[in-house]
Structure 1
């Protein structure tokens, strides 16, 4: 019953607020479901973001470059890498060009967890957008990508 009340409040608010609130609220709802799915596999949604970046990289990135690419500050990224390393999902190796610099590398176990969580995340996204027609889901993604790509200001903040 409480969920019905929350939904009714959301619908009243959506007619009275700006695009920022709508996008934030949608991201908040999807993010909570994504976080729950990742937690079921012993990682955070941010950890999945890091693992996905490391799994898809064709070249190595330093911690600093990885943080910049993901929009994560040094402290946040270091804490996440610490958790992933303790879980055996990544290793941090010295950069061969500068031994003071660390390069995070995904482990085989990390690749397996990342792939499994990615499948679950896709299911969560399908469930989240189940009320949309297939064309609407496609259009939503295209519009969001266009909005993100049309802003040439430097990125700020985390992907999560």
Structure 2
């Protein structure tokens, strides 16, 4: 059955889901070779800007508090992140990349950028820019308040 005959060829959600799963599968494989997963990579990239409170980090990367804790636990076990107590509030922890964490984050980013470049090569440069601009518009405007990655997605 060709694209035109597929019963869901006009369903935007189905098409986006297939693309999301495909991109995720390729990025997961690239990141596994570096020793991290997608959520860990998101967290490490966010931490390259500056250390921040765990709750701020959770909100920035849109990962639920319970999942961010498990993700940070994993990164800490791997020696990629340390959680430092806030100087002004002892209850607050500020995850910070270790030197090894910065190195792994850089390698992971290079690996995922290569995957993205390969996948986006199907588009000409103008199409790529429009595609990315539309995705940014949805992510940062239309769906900015969409639920976070969590263990129990909302139904």
Q: TM-score range by the shorter chain?
A: 0.7 to 0.9
- TM-superposed deviation, 1:146: 2.2
Q: CA RMSD in A?
A: 2.3
Which protein has the bigger helix share?
A: 1
For residues 58-92 of structure 1, give each alpha carbon's deviation from its aligned partner in whole angstroms, at most 9, with x where no partner exists: xx311111111111111111111011001110100
Matched residue, 1:54: 47
Could you tell me which residue of structure 2 aligns to residue 63 of structure 1? 54
Q: Distance in 2 between matches of 1:63 and 1:92?
A: 9
Q: Runs of 4+ in structure 1 displaced over 3 angstroms?
A: 8-11
1:101 paired residue among 92, 95, 99:
92
Of 12, 16, 28, which aligns to 1:35? 28
Separation in structure 1 between the aligned mates of residue 106 and residue 5 of structure 2, nearest angstrom: 35
Residue by residue over 1:76-110, the C-alpha shift from the partner in whole angstroms, topping out at 9 and shown as x without a partner, is 11111011001110100111111121110011110
Aligned length: 150
Structure 2: stretches of 5+ with no match in the other structure: 151-155
Note the C-alpha offset of 1:55: 0.8
Provide TM-score, normalisation by structure 1: 0.84
**TM value normalised by structure 2:** 0.86
1:123 and 2:97 are equivalent in the alignment: no
